Structure 1
Amino acid sequence: MYIRRVSRKNKNGTTTAYLQLAHNEWDPKAKYAKAKVIYSFGREDEVDRAVLERLVQSISRYLSPEAALEAQHAIGETAEFLFQSSKRLGGAWMLHQLWHKIGLDAILETLFADRKHQTSIERLIFSMVANRALNPSSKLAMEDWVREEVFLPDLAEVRSQQLYRAMDELLDVQSQLEHQVYCAVSDLLNLEVDLLYFDTTSSYFEVDPFDVPEGESFRKTGFSKDKRPDLVQVVIGLAVTREGIPIRSWVWPGNTSDLSVVDQVKKDLIGWKLGRVISVTDRGFVSEENLRTLQKTGGHYIAGEKLRSGKEATEAAMSRKGRYHHVRENLQVKDIVVGDGEARKRYVLVYNPKEAERDRARREQTIDQLQAHLAELKQLNGQAHTKAACQLRSHPTYGKYLRQLKDGTLKLNKQAIRDAEKYDGKYLIRTSDDTISAEDVALGYKQLVDVEDAFRTLKTTLELRPMFHRLEDRIRSHILLSWLALLLVRIAEVKTGETWNVLRKDLDRIHLGHFSSKNGDVHQRTEMTAKQRKIFAMLEIEPPPRFLEIQPKA
């Protein structure tokens, strides 16, 4: 390890020299050793070379096997280098590199170019996004997290009030940010946006419903998908590509119906000029009015249909005879058209043999249990018999397989069992697009699970809920930050094929150590494993350098 001097000729004819910390590495292809730069100190005329040489000698001795062994037995001030602290590095470094690769730093710096702050708004926003992905906490807790626990490039500390101001300013540029992020991500990942999957969820607040600010029309009680109807909530929507990348988020008052948001979502996405967009929605969105909305301005839809909806067209589609076509393992499809002219409707009936076996096994287990309950029922009489019979009739699973005779006796409903067999392993999809293949219809609807996975990541890994913000703007900004965190997380998952929990666990083992000596301070990362290096390689980003900072003392 040595100090290397390099020079560069300027346009005015002068020469500027720079000092670097380097060491020689053998190049097996070239068959000779090449200099590898470890750290750049800057211009020669701005640093004290003698101080640098003393520090480099200390580092070299400390890094040699003999000196390292000797250092293990050194105590207190007798050690040449003292280990001052350690911070988690890997996860934050990876998020920072992805953030830069997408261009989020440049986008935010441009949007906030006319706003002067002591600390960069872009860095404050990144810190909140990184915290949401790595260690979700309150803004007050983030002060210690940034200062003591994690290394964030170009950000040594934050104050909670700075973070709240950054949240307020982020909301001012939301529209431009969302569009520019979409364009940047589309270019980087070459996203296919002919199929967009949309769904909604709800998220609640741990506050007294009577403590909601007077006049607020945002946090409301409503149908809770979190099964907390007792708490006020908001409704959140996500549009996700077939690769599972969330390209946009929405938030509405907590009492908003799913069926009332489609028109806004459609208008917002058309404004982005995405070209041919097919909206894929679940069965909760299916109504004739809603489907017509999805078809406005030339759009199309793929929507799930309830098998037991009782609709005449649905029954006709289910009873239509014909052979299934094998498209993939455990995936067979049947293309069906019901009606003529403007009244015609296209359906795709999907059959999964493996899922059919599971449905059949679950039903047989249910029938066995039900027969056992009926046998027990015969041993009872009086009020105990009446109560047990009522419980069986009203049971959500057992009840549909029972019939009651005129004398009140409960029997198995064999016709209901035969009817249930017709639906094993099947689901029905409706589409307005006649040009897309039945296979793409089936696979497109199947990918709707990516939206559900995204919501699950938001609520669990990124800990979106519960939320404690009181102001509507802060709520909207909180969800916007969570969407940015989800965007980075999903890109990392898609690129590596690993879950975020696995990635975060592996990368958080990379630490940054702070070592001090009489000659200066050194900030050095821990050695990386082969798996950690592979993660960075798959993401096509640079891993953290061995030395992040070297500070000589005069």
Structure 2
Amino acid sequence: MYIRRISRKNKNGSVTSYVQLAHNERNPKTGNPQAKVLYHFGREDEVDMDGLKRLAASISRFLGDEPVASEPKDSVQLSLLDSKTFGTAYIVDSLWHELGVGQAISKRLAQRKYEAPIERAIFAMVANRALDPSSKLGMEDWVKRDIALPGVENFEVHQGYRAMDFLIESDVDIQREVFETVADLLNLEVDLLFFDTTSSYFEMDDEPEEDSLKQPGYSKDHRPDLPQVVIGFVVTRDGIPVRCWVWPGNTSDMTVIPEVKKDLIGWRLGRVVTVVDRGFSSEDNLRELQKAGGHYIAGEKMTSGKQTVEDAMSRPGRFKTIRDNLEIKEIVVGDGEARVRYVLVRNPDEARRDAFRREAHLKALEAELARLKELDNDAHTKAHCRLQSHPTFKRYLKSDKRGNLTVDHQAVKAMERLDGKYLIRTSDDTLSAEDVALGYKQLWQVEAAFRSLKQTMELRPMYHRKNERIRAHVLLCWLSLLLVRVAENRTSHTWREIRSVMNEMHLVTYKAGSGRVRQRTEVTPEQAQILKALGYEHPPLFSDISTDTL
């Protein structure tokens, strides 16, 4: 390792010299030694050459290299200052720039006069969601002590909140621009979009204000005691999140489809078939999804009581096996404008599980009914009411003429007919029945996105009070999920696996006299494999070398 000087001739005839840290390595083809530049110091007239030579010699000894002929004899000793996790941060930063997120934010910052580095503050908060979720206050110590984020030396809470306020002002434009960049870069298949909603609760003691997003509602987190918001996601068949929404916690799933459809008008989506779960399959929603040439694949409640559903469920016909655990039967009900196309799906494995669970429920119910006969007066009344309102047992019960509870064998028989089955409705006649069934089954991509939001990015619980901050928090999690999903798809590893391997790569800072060096640890074979799958070069060996007094 040695200090190298290169010179360039300027247009006016003058010569400018630049200083580099380099070392020689053999060309794998010719076998001849060639210089590899490790770090650029800048112009020779702006650096301390003697100090750099001493520093280079010390680094060389630290790495175990052979001393160079020009090595000063008075090279200084090295002392370790800190070691921070770096590998996963490098991946997140590389994805951030490749997917155009930083560019989309910087583009909207160009007309603003912010003194704080807003783009880097937003990046730091997104990275925090993916790497080690914490509060904004906790991020100050995280950046200072634990993580080496490219371009982020420190993080201050007030800068974070200022960055969140800017982010929510431009959220629609940023989401759209990022989508267009990602769609072109990754050649996304956006012919099939999956939409679903979830909820996320808040830890708070005071009552939510009337105009607040935080409202009581049906909690998918099983926390009906806490106020919440409703979050909607549109996801591609590859699990890439396209857009997110935030609504008040008392919003019904049935009411949001028109807004989702309207917000995606003008996006470069081409011909789109939207896949939604049973909670969105109202006639109004389905008509909305068909506007502007769109189509839908929607789950249908088999016990909805609709005549078309009853006709579809009672239609005879054989199932066709499309996979080991999936059988389908196509059914068309009605004619002309009243025509409805269904695909009935049966999973034999799930059918056996349904039957096993029901037998266990009935066995437990028979025991409860036998125990009920032994009770008198108030004890009997209380046990009777408790059994009649039981969330599982009530579906198997009926009352006789005397008001006594008995097993409803007709209801049990009706349930047997539904074992392992689900019903899908579609407006697209060009899709095969198999594509309809498999497309609907991929709705788990949205569920996987929600699991990642709540578990990996730790979306919940939230403590923000202002509506804008709540929306900004969800948007930060959405951006984090975007980066994580792309990394998972490219590497075929879970984010937990990627993070575990890459977190072992550290950026070490050590002191050499009056100089400072920041150097990454060696790249392991596992880390090299992940970087190759992502399409990224190894991080530079040195990220900072300085002879300034510390």
TM-score, normalised on structure 2?
0.91
Distance 1:359 1:50, change over 3 A: same
> C-alpha displacement at 1:55, in angstroms?
1.0
Q: Which residue does 1:51 correspond to in 2?
A: 51
Q: Which residue does 1:24 correspond to in 2?
A: 24
> What amino acid does structure 1 have at the position aligned with 2:327?
Q
> C-alpha displacement at 1:524, in angstroms?
1.5
Map of 1:284-323 to 2, 5 A cutoff? 284-323=279-318
* Structure 2 residue 77 is matched with structure 1 residue 80: yes
Contact kept? 1:94, 1:543, Cα under 8 Å: no
Distance 1:23 1:222, change over 3 A: same
SS at match of 2:539: coil
Distance 1:126 1:407, change over 3 A: same
* Residue range with higher mean Cα deviation, 447-456 or 15-24: 15-24
Q: Which residue does 2:227 correspond to in 1?
A: 232
SS at match of 1:270: coil
* Structure 2 residue 275 is matched with structure 1 residue 280: yes
Contact kept? 1:513, 1:525, Cα under 8 Å: yes
Of residues 374, 379, 382, the one that matches 2:376 is 382
> C-alpha displacement at 1:15, in angstroms?
5.1
Contact kept? 1:518, 1:553, Cα under 8 Å: no
> What amino acid does structure 2 have at the position aligned with 1:131?
N
> C-alpha displacement at 1:190, in angstroms?
0.7
Q: Which residue does 1:352 correspond to in 2?
A: 347
Of residues 118, 127, 143, the one that matches 2:115 is 118
Contact kept? 2:180, 2:268, Cα under 8 Å: no
Distance 1:472 1:404, change over 3 A: closer
> What amino acid does structure 2 have at the position aligned with 1:475?
I
Distance 1:325 1:11, change over 3 A: farther
* Structure 2 residue 485 is matched with structure 1 residue 490: yes
Once residues 399 and 289 of structure 2 are traced to their aligned partners in structure 1, the CA distance between those partners, rounded to angstroms, is 45
Contact kept? 2:58, 2:76, Cα under 8 Å: no
Q: Which residue does 2:70 correspond to in 1?
A: none
Once residues 444 and 8 of structure 1 are traced to their aligned partners in structure 2, the CA distance between those partners, rounded to angstroms, is 60
Q: Which residue does 1:455 correspond to in 2?
A: 450
Contact kept? 1:54, 1:519, Cα under 8 Å: no
Of residues 136, 152, 160, the one that matches 1:155 is 152
Once residues 220 and 203 of structure 1 are traced to their aligned partners in structure 2, the CA distance between those partners, rounded to angstroms, is 11
Contact kept? 1:167, 1:474, Cα under 8 Å: yes
Contact kept? 1:337, 1:344, Cα under 8 Å: yes
Contact kept? 1:235, 1:252, Cα under 8 Å: yes
- Listed as ranges, the gaps of 5+ residues in structure 1 are 68-77
> What amino acid does structure 2 have at the position aligned with 1:22?
A
Q: Which residue does 2:391 correspond to in 1?
A: 396
> What amino acid does structure 1 have at the position aligned with 2:260?
V
Once residues 234 and 403 of structure 1 are traced to their aligned partners in structure 2, the CA distance between those partners, rounded to angstroms, is 38
Once residues 383 and 204 of structure 2 are traced to their aligned partners in structure 1, the CA distance between those partners, rounded to angstroms, is 40
Distance 1:396 1:125, change over 3 A: same
> C-alpha displacement at 1:283, in angstroms?
0.6
Question: What is the count of residue pairs matched by the alignment?
Answer: 541
Once residues 9 and 103 of structure 1 are traced to their aligned partners in structure 2, the CA distance between those partners, rounded to angstroms, is 36
Distance 1:520 1:190, change over 3 A: same
> C-alpha displacement at 1:121, in angstroms?
1.5
Contact kept? 2:76, 2:513, Cα under 8 Å: no
Distance 1:318 1:549, change over 3 A: same
Distance 1:473 1:390, change over 3 A: closer
Q: Which residue does 1:74 correspond to in 2?
A: none
> What amino acid does structure 2 have at the position aligned with 1:189?
L
Once residues 49 and 302 of structure 2 are traced to their aligned partners in structure 1, the CA distance between those partners, rounded to angstroms, is 78
Once residues 398 and 172 of structure 2 are traced to their aligned partners in structure 1, the CA distance between those partners, rounded to angstroms, is 57
Give the superposed CA RMSD: 2.6
> What amino acid does structure 1 have at the position aligned with 2:526?
K
Q: Which residue does 1:195 correspond to in 2?
A: 192
Once residues 468 and 37 of structure 1 are traced to their aligned partners in structure 2, the CA distance between those partners, rounded to angstroms, is 48
> What amino acid does structure 1 have at the position aligned with 2:98?
K
Q: Which residue does 1:90 correspond to in 2?
A: 87
Contact kept? 1:55, 1:519, Cα under 8 Å: no
> C-alpha displacement at 1:264, in angstroms?
1.0
Percentage identity across paired residues of the two chains: 57
Q: Which residue does 1:133 correspond to in 2?
A: 130
Map of 1:193-272 to 2, 5 A cutoff? 193-210=190-207, 212=208, 216-272=211-267
Distance 1:330 1:117, change over 3 A: same
SS at match of 1:207: coil
> C-alpha displacement at 1:413, in angstroms?
4.1
> C-alpha displacement at 1:217, in angstroms?
4.4
Once residues 163 and 398 of structure 1 are traced to their aligned partners in structure 2, the CA distance between those partners, rounded to angstroms, is 51
